[in-house]
Amino acid sequence: MSHLLEKTKESRAFYSFLGLIILVIICSLTSSDFSKIENYITIFRQASVLLVLSAGLTAVLILGGIDLSVGATAALVGCTCALLLKAGVPTWAVITIGLCMGAVIGTLNGFLVSIIRLPAFVATYATNWIVKGLAIVIMNGQIIFNLPESFTFIGTGYLFGQMPVLIVIALVVVSICYVLYQKTTIGRDIFSCGSNLEAARYSGIRVKRAQFVAFIMSSMFAGLAGLLMTARLNAAEASMGDSYGLNTVAAVVIGGTSMLGGEGGIIGTMIGSIMLMLITNIMNLLGISSFAQPMIIGLVIIVMVFFDSISRDERKTVRRGVAIPMNVQKRKDDIG
């Protein structure tokens, strides 16, 4: 048991989790409406979309890259699928097409970064505009709504009576990503590339493959998120990814994944997404003007990332403290 505790402490998500608990306590004290079950479900529902949108992005950040095109990808996939559904294409086929579109965009990003060797920031920023532009072109300014119920079920339906489908999907995504990132050799390759790309290359790790996998996952999960958004709103429009903006990156980083690569995980991203949504939620409950909210979110992000970096520094100092006395002792004995 103590071993398990030790392991949890080592994990960076542990500190994000502590932050989350503190946040929940503060929120419960400030608003009586907060602690209601329905409110929690609302928060989780909102966090689910953000989480799925950031799930693959987590892999890209672990790799040491960045993907700025997730929001646009979600919008394009959502819009295309809405159009297809209106044209009478069956739901299962639409979902498959949506995921494949994501994979294609991810392949493009992977190609630009690993073969053409553009910096990920520039490459995905460009893809972001291309994909967004495509969405605008195909939508031609209109908003599509009234989608078939078989489709909106994934955004608004319930399983087992009480459980929103959206949350179930998010949990499945988390499980898949957890196994993929933490328990497979390809996941480990992504970590290795993020820790030290040159060392990974010199170790015979297939770096390009790892880069492709990360970018494809990022765009595929973004595509899935696009489907979820559309289903949840029962509507699609070209700018629907915009509201997520860089919230995706914020969710990943608040969850303890390093922007420098090599560290992090999906559990942290899950906590980060919930935290971000929780803050919006409590601000609404407290009646803070929506004009003031972005400012507060900005401040909160700074505070959370700051605490995360402090907690990491602390652990380092503790380790150093142990290392030195032991060896000095040994040396002194040798000298006699």
Residues at the contact surface with other proteins, assessed by CB under 8 A: 10, 182-189, 191-192, 195-196, 198-206, 262-263, 319-320, 322-324, 326-328, 331
Sign of CA dihedral 215, 218, 221, 223: negative
Distances 76 to 37, 99, 100, 130 between C-alpha atoms, Å: 34, 11, 12, 10
CB of 319 to other proteins, least distance (A): 6
Between 154 and 177, CB nearer to other proteins = 177
How far from each other are the two terminal CA atoms of the chain, in whole angstroms?
41
Q: Angle at Cα 176 formed by Cα 280 and Cα 217, nearest 5°?
A: 80
CB of 33 to other proteins, least distance (A): 43
CB of 277 to other proteins, least distance (A): 30
Between 243 and 327, CB nearer to other proteins = 327
CB of 198 to other proteins, least distance (A): 4
CB of 304 to other proteins, least distance (A): 22
| Cα–Cα dist 44/19, whole Å | 17
Token pair belonging to 116: 């053409």
Between 86 and 208, CB nearer to other proteins = 208
Between 101 and 266, CB nearer to other proteins = 266
Place of tokens 């497979």: 184
CB of 170 to other proteins, least distance (A): 23
Closest CA to 51 of 187, 167, 153: 167
AA letter at 165? V
Between 73 and 192, CB nearer to other proteins = 192
Between 86 and 206, CB nearer to other proteins = 206
User: Cβ atoms within 10 A of the Cβ of 129, count?
Assistant: 12
Closest CA to 98 of 217, 236, 223: 223
